Structure 1
Amino acid sequence: MERTVKKFALLAISFFVATLTYAQITTSSMSGRVTDADGAIVPAATVIAVHTPSGTQYYSITDNAGNYRIHNMRIGGPYTVTVSYVGYADAVYGNITLRLSENYVQDIVISESATTLEAIVISAGMDNPILTSDKSGTSTNVSSREIDALPTVSRGIQDFTKLTPQANGFSFAARDNRMNNFTVDGAGFNNNFGLSSSLPGGKAEPISLDAIEEITVNIAPYDIRQSRFTGAAINAVTKSGTNRIHASAYTYQRFKGMAGKTVDGQEVQGAGETSKQTWGVRVGGPIIRNKLFFFLSGEFETEDASGVNWRPSTDGVGKADQFISRTSEADLERVKQHLISTYGYDPGKYKDWDPFKVRNYKILARVDWNISRNHKLMVRYNDVVGSYMNVTNATSAPSGLSRASSARMSANSIAFQNNFYGMENTVRSITGELNSTLGARMTNQFYATYTHIRDGRTSPNDKLADPLNRFPHVDIWKDGDAYMSFGYELFTFHNEVLNNTWNIVDNLTINLNRHTVTLGASFEHLYVRNSYIREGTGYYRYNSVDDFLNNATPSAFGLTYGYYGNDAPGQMLTFGYAGVYAQDEWQVTPRFKLTYGVRLEMPFYFDKMDTNLAIRDKTAGFGDISYPESGIAVNGGAWDVGTWPKSKVTINPRIGFNWDVTGDRSLQLRGGTGIFSGMMPFVWFTNQVGGAAMIQSPELAWNAAACAAYGLKFNPDYKALIAADPTTFPSEPNPNYLPNNANIAMVDKDFNFPQVWRSNLGVDVELPWNMIFTGEALFTKDINAVTQVNANETAPVGTMAGADNRPVWDNNRKVNPSLSSAMMLTNTNKGYQFQLTAQLTKNFSKGLSGMVAYTYTNAKDVSANPGSTAYSVWTANASAYSLNDPRLSYSNFSIPHRLIGNLTYRVEYLRHLATTIGLVYQGMPAGRWSYTYSGDVNRDGSSNSDMMYIPASPSEISFVDAGGMTAQQQSAAFFEYVDNNKYLSAHKGGYAERFGDVRPWIHRFDIKVLQDVFVNFGKDNRLTLQVSLDMLNVGNLLNDSWGCYYYHALSSYDNVMPLRVVAGGTATAAPTFRLNANDVADFKTKSQLTKYVSTDSTWSMLLGFRLLF
């Protein structure tokens, strides 16, 4: 009873006094020091700041040190600041613009007047977001001017966050992009479930670009309010209404042909078939002048594209450079007619594919209410709904079964159109924020948000009559690799993720002379429901077309189904995250500021789950797992899948500083250090629920022997299959039963959410011509990184014979043979990211602004967690040792060198014309590669996941005659390839490192041209017709071999596989290999890097028309 009361009390306290997650910053602030002409401080002076466009007022009183501080201000401007004091003339400072999450410092001098008290009006000068006492950490701000002026064809947020020097796509500081925290007006727009690395909304942006006022990217903010990330905190604030009506109607058109059609002289299939149209409108203005304002935005987008470039062959010969698959039309037609005549099932097209359609709309509404001078309220609602089509999954198979080397849609295989799947995405969010001034020294910010995100799948089979609408997924292989696929895509049946999140935040700020103290509280409640049924309609694999046509026993089978006849059982997780924080900004001297604080954080698991005693019994023999070089340590013993990890308080201190070295803000030194905690994909949590066999069956994964032992034959209706054998396929859970070959998962009871120690040191120097040089170092060390281990894998039986002496397994590689896998989500303390940045910035002046930066990165991790399920993460994280012991290696997110630059220029002329030009350059290696084997060299049961040993000489590797190639011919071709490969030749006699090789550089120039035709009328009114042209990869327009990605025909995703395993190694025999090609000539062709013939490599453009008022 006492423990129950304590838990209840702790929960109640955390609800009201908690913090963590979305405590992001949605406003700006202003501070400074008021002195007289002699430099004496002026206490008790009144400071009033007015947001000129809306008439919104903020005020403060200077303290005994002459300091004033104004918090929770609207971003943007211009602002006018007036300082008044008895016996002095008012000082008025104008033309002040505030940036999101930054403190604008404006020191003010007032003059004494004995006779007249006329106001002295002074221009505040140029906005300088870098040389300011508020800046200590690593951050980037993107203003509305830059959003309007810089090129974007996708009209996506990532086109602007890439301006961050430490970025790589949507990855920051060389961290997994799923570890970011993206918020809009304080509301989380995160893919919490983690099935994809993109933002929520699928192919639709989660918010219209036209609704965004400003974006900030904070990587090392020492403001304790910013949280929930170990990558970056990306904050966006929406536009708001003012005292004047502003409106814009626009359309963006990408017609067919507005993209390059060739790469290095080769035709890009379907390049000229893509068309995209966007229509939108926005309007904002007053409801009650100076009091109540509105802003509305609406947008509709449609796109039709050629989603599939591959087509079948007529002669059975694949030609990757022409996107021709070896799968013959004759075989495809034979199978199609058999399916129609035997089962009444039409698998759809296998060529001349239907275009892939993308549809989405976005709506946003915002109201701002100046309740009084002391209280201001904002309410914002956002709604996004979209849909699009995808090709089938590439190579996945039932857990524990071998995968094909080639994708289902590739030079070796074709999938029928009904094997594709669609996505339906919804993002809805509402935010309310109240900012209050509580006297001269205290301000308060309170906001509450709710976000609903839904991602569901559809299939072309859904339109068919029962039971054809649940036809199984079938893979047909040929010569040991993928050849043909049809049926219901293996992961799509009733696949749906719901993610509902609400949170509350309260920040109280107290000004105490030289100290600004912040006390905050927040609580996040997250509900996730995942309906995920692997192989939900059944999975069958056959070794040949004839095997399927003749109804032979399949070579593999997989199935998961819901209990009690429920087709869509949901794995549910209700989670909370809470904490408390406090911070002090100490203006030690006028030139030195110190910011220090601490936050305490704690997770809550609200669900009570049923346990499966059979899992406890089957895992009782699990021993401890310890791999010091990987930083992995897991306790052995029986599993209780009915419990979650222990809730533990984590402590996150931070400290940052800013030193104005010269006293005139021309040279500043800044930096800090601190602990940052974040979230992770919750799909890995729900794996525990899904594998517990209490709401749905565990995934059944049968190999050829199991299929033969059962006497399995193809059944087009999985419901008929399970109804015919309730013993093998029970219809309801049994807490004392788990079928053989089940895949189970659990979260380590000592698991901690991601946590890093991050530090930075930067110097900013003012240069002539309004330029600033920045040098910055950023270092991140993992305290608790996330990784997966398979507790059902035995220790190796020894090391492999020969020069490659890696660990090796025998056929008894499972601790419990009745389990297929037992995945444990756990932590490692290995991993780091280091970045050095040199940056030159020119602030906006006379229509010109720009930036250029170079960043060097060195980052290593134990796992990049390359998958959406526990088992797929484990098998995809290649290793030269054990998949349980992947060891520290280069991070997939580590781009060693990156150049980024932008330049904008605007000029008005001839009284009615204006031209804006925006240019963005990005140059960097296009990613990283690993060198692995095709097949399983160490006999651990996982294919394509063994790092390659690079032999020092031909005597260290054994080839066998294959495919008309002699062993000697293959050896000569292979070593010619190694000697001509910079990475492989430098690492002879050792193992290739995971992501050890760097892809070739790619250089891209993007440009935007805006032409305005305007008419001025009335007082400060302007009507503008604007025509814009955005073009990506301009160099490729001039020469179709420029700005292209490179492709390796021996690669699958990020793995380059020059060799195919013929026989895996043992403790007494070295492995044998063959070239991973049809013949020597084919290998020499495939081993050469070639330009990637795809629309990813070509130029593209977007034409826009806009009317502004």
Structure 2
Amino acid sequence: MKYFKSMMCMLCITWASLAMAQGVTTANLTGVVVDPSDQPLPGAVINGVHEPTGTRYSAVSRADGRFDLRNVRVGGPYTITASMPGFKTQQQNNLYLKLGDTQSLNFKMTVDAIEETLVVVAETNALINAGRQGSESSVSQESIEKLPTVNRTITDYTRTNPYFQDFDSDGGASTFSVAGRNNRYNSILIDGAVNNDLFGLTASGTPGGQAEAPPVSLEAIQEIQLLVSPYDVRQGGFSGGGVNAITKSGTNDFSGSVFHYSKTDSQFGEFIGDDGDPVELGDFEETQTGFSIGGPIVKDKIFFFASAESRRRDVPTGFEIRADNASGSGQNFGFFAEAQEFIEILNGYGYDPGGLNEVTRNTDNDTIFVRFDFNIGDAHQLTLRHNYVDAENLILNPDAFAYNFPGNAQLFPNETNSTVLQLNSSLGEFYNEFRVSYQTIKDRRTGQGQPFPWVEIENIDPNNVFPNDEFRGRIGDEFEAGTERFSTANSLDQSIIEITNDLTFFRGAHTITIGTHNELFDFDNLFIRENFGAYQFDTLEDFRNGWARQYDYSFSATDDPKQSAKFDAQQLGFYVGDQWTVNPTLTVTMGLRVDIPLFPDEPTRNPVLDTFSWYRDNPIENPNAQLETGGLSTTNTPDGNMLWSPRVGFNWDITGDGTQQLRGGAGVFSGRTPYVWLSNQYANTGIEFTRIRATIDGDASRDNHIPFNPDPNNQPEFIPDVDIDTNEIDVIDPDFKLPQVFRGNLAYDHDLGFWGIVASAEVIFSQNMNEILYQNLNIIPQRNADGSIATAFDGRPLWESQDNDLSDVIYLTNTSEGDSVSFNVKLERPWRDGFQWFVSYLHNSSDSVNDGTSSQAFSNWRFVPNSGDPNNPETAASRFGIEDRFSASVAYDFKFADNYTLTVSGFYNAQSGRPFSYIFNGDVNGDGQRSNDLLYVPATMDEVEWRGPREMSTQEIWDTFSEFVNADDGLNFGEIASRNNSRAPWRHQLDLSASLKAKFNRYSVQAYVNLFNIANLLDDEDGLVEYVSFSTFQLIRYRGTNSEGKPIYQLNATELDNRFETDPLRSRWQGQFGLRFSF
């Protein structure tokens, strides 16, 4: 079977290589030639010349007068001529074409006996044209050069589209979510070739993202296209949004640049910390230095372009531990004496965890880009380019609740090579684009310092003692040391081959495209978590005694101690589309696409599942559901589960004069599941690896504990007198389909007729068709004596493990629950005469079942807060949704003294804070998890037994809790809180940029000053980026029930005002200086 599927795959690709076509790295020019009486004029010759390179394109008007120049270079200026014997030759100059656009340009010929040329300057509107139907936007080279950019990466410009919303990963790397969808569902293309982190480990969604490396130097980017709902079926690979960037090429003129940008801690502001004092920034330095050069090798025939960039970034972690009233940098985590004691204990084991001063993280990356372009006659254009990235990133993320010692840091080296070959051809009435790419990505993740088991102390506050020592412990304030638990054996090698080939031809008013897009993957993923052992202790005293509460350990069960998951996968795509010009004012696009995932390698079969019992029906909704055996196999994959994507879009020129248009459409968009989710099926069959977990009941003591073993190479596989869960098994529904969403939009655009302003209003609706759902089949509802389902004190069902020989059986299947609605209004003046601006407002409502925020199957199940059924969570607000967003941008060129230009630009963004959930610290529903039960808010004080700091009475605890509940709209007395029903504070950011350019003949010098987060510059209490870590806040520690059956609530009153963490870097104003020399 494996051989047959591989052969079929190669046959499909061979067929694909015979097709020809158009892609998404070019633009198109279409129009109609008519005579003086407005009758179609066939036989007119249309010639287009891309002036910078001399590249020529030609076409002949057909019987209906229509003509098309397909697959032409993006940019310009172009000179377009229309000629025919007996008519004046018409010439239109200064035409610029945007990436992916189909621009209309019509000619009305006039009769003239004397041969002459009529020259006009072309004026087009990129926002109102027949090729614009779905929701999309573009970022021109002019915008890239002039708008404020914090990091000089592509993601700095995605924010110009209102649907692309900034989404930072808990103070870490910034990425974007589109229309409330998971950031892993986005597609990123460079020169039309896939440039995603297909495995799905990075927040940025790009290769090298864990090393914080940009996929390509911004210096090499010519234009960026941002896609939300393109109805062109050639656009695929995403159910979120698409980013399509093209790189620069050389021209007939030699040009180049040398640049340097820098930021240091002296160019950063302060913000007010939780203690009310300003928080100074530690040692920070960032430099970006590089060059570019391009020009002709053979004029009009062969061109080259190259760029290189080196980035060095030293970033303080933002936290340190120092004595009270001692000076230092970053926020003071506190607990100085406890930290010294912790280090003393670790030193006694021969381990040095590192010091207490703020740590500086080092991020280094180098990028080299080379491109060659060949004009092979007038009919063929060939492009060959290569991009190389070498990066390394040290990660350590202490926060206000957990302090990671320096030895707990992780090092992420990355090396990425990407080569793309593309051939565009014009063969009579056929237009061809062929593209093949090959990419290799090598990622490593290692711990820092000497190997040592991971150690977590959950309660380090010696003053947090409650009236009954049985209820000691608090929420937050943890120490973590040792080798980071997920970095003990972790590496990933990927190779990706991509082949795209399409055919475009014309039949009357129809432009027909037939094409294929194919991706072939090879993955080798080593991931053995907690390979050195991981121990959790309640207190420092327990750690001194060596009394652990929980122990986790994973190891290879094969002869290879570094056993990896190796598998191949392919995704084949085939499509046919028709763009029908119904009449001069109405254009309709229709198409059908099918994507076919293939998995020729089967995971190892585990016979344990042959007799494993599980519920096929939901036992909560159907109490009569029975446990059944069969139907599960670790060999299952979504092999051959086809994804059909029909789409239709339209554009109607309402008045016929290009000033008003109604556009829209609907269709299915099919993306990829991050392959790490599918690799879990290969790595966690329960055969190749053994994973054990031991947990004691109650508090640790001399007679009830797990002994600590400090030897990372000799961890125990058995704990006497302690129950051990072993062997997590991950399995997939054989009918599982990769993510699909049905999406439609309707928009109205109006050229207001003055100052080039266009007003737009748009609504976008998305409905999940195939979304992920994780279930743990090894937990079942607890039953009362009468067979009814047992419930907890707040009415939620109780669960228990059914097979104690297995820890968890995680099942990946689909759900169609979840949707998103967005409404946007916008005023925009596109670039013209050195002036551009827009203002926009967006309202979004997004619901989901599982937000898929982890790379591990078990984590994707256990970290979904729920109110009762962890296997079927209720639909609730998406973690990626942002309710309201205001954004605006402006840029203007002030030219003076002939040779000088001062460019001033700004970008403002205000948006709702990120959603989060209130949960218990503790296992309320018996599913074995301590951090996924949504909080029940008691209706009255007497409904529960309250515990808190010894100086507070029960009434004072209740009053403090009630005041907190009343202040949060997401909490209601007598109810279980909904998931993601509360939000962090609003975020406001204003960035400004100013540059002065002095030009001397062919040479120019440009100086830049950029200021980010101006609000914090004006007031150090403003401009804060606040969030709740992991989007959950443990408001109450659940300590079981008392003798009367009342639940025991432990309130950590001191933490109520500290639920929001402050990003230590983005919450400050920042200054950046730059200098560029160009020729």
Amino acid at match of 2:9: L
Maintained 8 Å contact 2:549/2:706: no
Measured in 1, the distance between the counterparts of 2:2 and 2:854 equals: 38
Deviation at 1:642, TM superposition (A): 2.8
1:806 maps to 2:793: no
2: distance between equivalents of 1:141 and 1:556? Answer: 52
**Counterpart for residue 245 of structure 1:** 254
Aligned equivalents of 2:910, 2:638: Cα separation in 1? 44
Counterpart in the other structure of 1:1038: 1018
Contact 1:293–1:368 at 8 Å: present in 2 too?
yes
Is residue 802–residue 1069 contact of structure 1 (8 Å, CA) maintained in 2?
A: no
Within the alignment, does 1:156 sit opposite 2:153 as a pair?
Answer: yes
**What SS class does the counterpart of residue 687 from structure 1 fall into?**
helix
- The one-letter amino acid of 1:1059's match is I
Report whether the alignment pairs 1:428 with 2:417.
yes
CA distance in 2, matches of 1:668, 1:849: 21
Q: If the length of structure 2 is used for normalisation, what is the TM-score?
A: 0.91
Q: Give how far 1:922 is off.
A: 0.6
Q: Report the alpha carbon displacement of residue 6 of structure 1 after superposing the two structures with TM.
A: 6.7
Amino acid at match of 1:512: R
* Aligned sequence identity (%): 29
2:128 counterpart SS class: coil
Q: Hey, what does 1:703 align to over in structure 2? A: 695
CA-atom RMSD, angstroms? 3.0
Post-superposition CA distance 1:383-414 (Å, at most 9, x none):
1111111126xxxxxxxxxxxxxxxx445553
**C-alpha distance in 1 between matches for 2:687 and 2:22:** 37
CA drift of 1:1099 comes to 0.7
Counterpart of 1:1019?
Answer: none
Matches of 2:1037 and 2:1064, distance apart in 1? 27
For residues 776-791 of structure 1, the aligned pairs below 5 Å read 776-791=762-777
Task: Tell me what 2:144 maps to.
Answer: 147
- SS where residue 575 of structure 2 aligns? strand
Q: Output the CA distance in 2 between the equivalents of 1:246 and 1:879.
A: 59
Match of 1:657 among 650, 662, 674: 650
How big is each residue's C-alpha offset from its partner over 1:601-652, in whole Å with a ceiling of 9 and x where there is no partner? Answer: 21110113332223444x24565446779xx999963632133234222321
The answer to whether the Cα contact below 8 Å between 1:259 and 1:1101 also exists between their aligned partners in 2 is yes
Q: Take 2:327 and 2:777, find their aligned partners in 1: how far apart are those partners?
A: 42
**CA drift at 1:194:** 1.6
What letter is aligned with 1:497? L
2:285 maps to 275
Cα deviations across residues 945-979 of structure 1 (Å, max 9, x unaligned)?
11122334435444246534332221122112222
Counterpart residue type for residue 857 of structure 1: N
Match of residue 683, structure 2, among 661, 684, 690: 690
Residue of structure 1 aligned with 2:510, choices 512, 515, 518? 515
For 1:782 and 1:635, the matched residues in 2 are separated by 29
Letter in 1 for 2:106: D
Deviation, 1:97, is: 0.5
Question: 2: distance between equivalents of 1:326 and 1:918?
Answer: 42
- The CA deviation at 1:340 is 3.9
Does the CA contact (< 8 Å) of 2:598 and 2:638 recur in 1? no
Structure 1: which amino acid aligns with 2:422? Answer: E
Query: Match for 1:327 among 324, 329, 335?
Result: 335
Alpha-carbon distance, 1:31 to partner: 0.4
Deviation of residue 268 (structure 1)? Answer: 5.5
Corresponding residue for 1:183?
Answer: 189
Task: Give the superposition deviation at 1:939.
Answer: 2.7
How far has the Cα of 1:473 moved from its partner?
1.6
Q: Distance in 2 between matches of 1:208 and 1:162?
A: 18
**Residues 286 and 266 of structure 1: CA distance in aligned 2, closer, same or farther (over 3 Å):** farther
- Contact preservation (8 Å) 2:441, 2:494: yes
Instruction: Please point out which of 758, 764, 784 is paired with 2:743.
Output: 758
Deviation at 1:1093, TM superposition (A): 6.9
- Using a 3 Å threshold, how does the CA distance of structure 1 residues 86 and 47 change in structure 2: closer, same or farther? same
Q: Aligned equivalents of 1:497 and 1:650: distance in 2?
A: 28
| Structure 2: gaps of 5 or more residues | 167-175, 460-471
Q: Distance in 2 between matches of 1:1065 and 1:110?
A: 92
CA positional deviation for 1:26: 0.8
Q: Give yes or no for the alignment of 1:365 onto 2:362.
A: no
Instruction: Please report how far the alpha carbon of residue 796 of structure 1 lies from its aligned counterpart in structure 2 after TM superposition.
Output: 4.2
CA distance in 2, matches of 1:505, 1:801: 55
Q: Is the contact made by 1:29 and 1:69 (CA closer than 8 Å) also made in structure 2? A: yes
The match for 1:498 is 493
What is the rounded CA distance, in whole Å, between the counterparts of 1:54 and 1:709 in structure 2? 81
1:452 has 2:429 as partner:
no
Residue 607 of structure 1 pairs with residue 604 of structure 2: no
Which stretch of the first structure deviates more once superposed, 642-651 or 743-752?
642-651
Partner of 2:109: 110
Structure 1 gaps of 5+ residues are 393-408, 462-468, 729-737, 1017-1021
State whether residues 800 and 938 of structure 1, in contact with CA within 8 Å, keep that contact through their aligned partners in structure 2.
Answer: no
Partner secondary structure for residue 685 of structure 1? helix
AA paired with 2:62?
D
For residue 1028 of structure 1, what is the aligned residue in structure 2?
Answer: 1008
Distance 1:888 1:758 in 2: 19
The structure 2 residue matched to 1:912, chosen from 862, 886, 899, is: 899
2:457 corresponds to which residue?
476
Match 1:1076 to one of 1049, 1052, 1060: 1052
Cα deviation, residue 538, structure 1: 1.4
Task: Work out whether residues 995 and 1006 of structure 2, in 8 Å CA contact, stay in contact via their aligned partners in 1.
Answer: yes
Classify 1:621/1:789 alpha carbon distance in 2 versus 1 (closer, same or farther; 3 Å). closer
For the pair 1:77 / 2:76, whether they are aligned, the reply is yes
1:209 corresponds to 2:218: yes
Deviations 1:293-315 (A, max 9, x none): 00000000101121241315569
Equivalent residues in 2 for 1:726-737, closer than 5 Å: none
Is the Cα contact below 8 Å between 2:894 and 2:902 reproduced in 1? yes
Cα contact 1:937–1:1071 (8 A) shared by 2: no
Aligned-partner Cα distance in 1 for 2:282–2:340: 28
**Match for 1:587: what amino acid?**
T
On the 8 A contact 1:263/1:1097 being kept in 2, the answer is no
Q: Per the alignment, in what secondary structure is the counterpart of residue 143 of structure 2?
A: helix
Question: Per the alignment, do residues 320 and 627 of structure 1 end up closer, same or farther by CA in structure 2, a change over 3 Å counting?
Answer: farther
Letter paired with 2:42: P
CA contact (8 A) 2:865 2:933 kept: yes
Letter in 2 for 1:494: A
Give CA deviations for 1:226-271 in whole Å, capped at 9, x if unaligned: 0000011110000110000110000001123111123389555451
Corresponding residue to 1:288 among 295, 298, 307: 298
Structure 1 residues 362 and 252: alpha-carbon distance in aligned structure 2, compared to 1, 3 A threshold: same
Tell me whether 1003-1012 or 269-278 shows the greater mean CA deviation: 269-278
CA contact 1:475–1:541 (8 Å) conserved in 2: yes
How far off is 1:320 after superposition? 15
TM-score between the two structures when normalised by the length of structure 1: 0.89
Match of 1:259 in 2: 268
Aligned CA distance change for structure 1 residues 35 and 453 (closer, same or farther; 3 Å): same
The one-letter code of the counterpart of 1:672 is G
Q: CA deviation at 1:93?
A: 0.7
1:319–1:325 CA contact under 8 A, matched in 2: no
CA gap 1:412/1:122 in 2 versus in 1, 3 angstroms: closer
Count of residues paired in the alignment: 1040
Deviation at 1:208, TM superposition (A): 0.8
Q: Give the residue type in structure 2 aligned to 1:117.
A: E
Equivalent-residue separation in structure 1 for 2:1063 and 2:4 (angstroms): 63
Equivalences for residues 806-825 of structure 1 within 5 A = 806-809=796-799, 813-825=800-812
Amino acid at match of 1:820: S
CA distance in 1, matches of 2:1058, 2:1062: 13
Secondary structure at the counterpart of residue 1096 of structure 1? coil
Secondary structure at 1:1097's aligned position in 2? coil
Match of 2:380 in 1: 375
Q: For the Cα contact (< 8 Å) 2:23–2:433, is it kept in 1?
A: no
Q: Is the 8 A contact 2:569 2:598 kept in 1?
A: yes
Mapped partners of 2:452, 2:938: distance in 1: 47
Q: How many angstroms apart in 2 are the aligned matches of 1:713 and 1:933?
A: 28
1:364-403 pair list within 5 angstroms: 364-391=369-396
8 Å CA contact 2:384–2:420 kept in 1: the answer is: yes
Q: Which deviates further from its counterpart, 636-645 or 826-835?
A: 636-645
Partner of 2:1075: 1105
CA contact (8 A) 2:272 2:279 kept: no
- 1:193 maps to 2:180: no
Q: In structure 2, what residue type is equivalent to 1:1071?
A: P
Q: What is the deviation of 1:575?
A: 0.7
- Where 1:475 maps in the other structure, the secondary structure is strand
Give 2:873's aligned amino acid. Answer: P
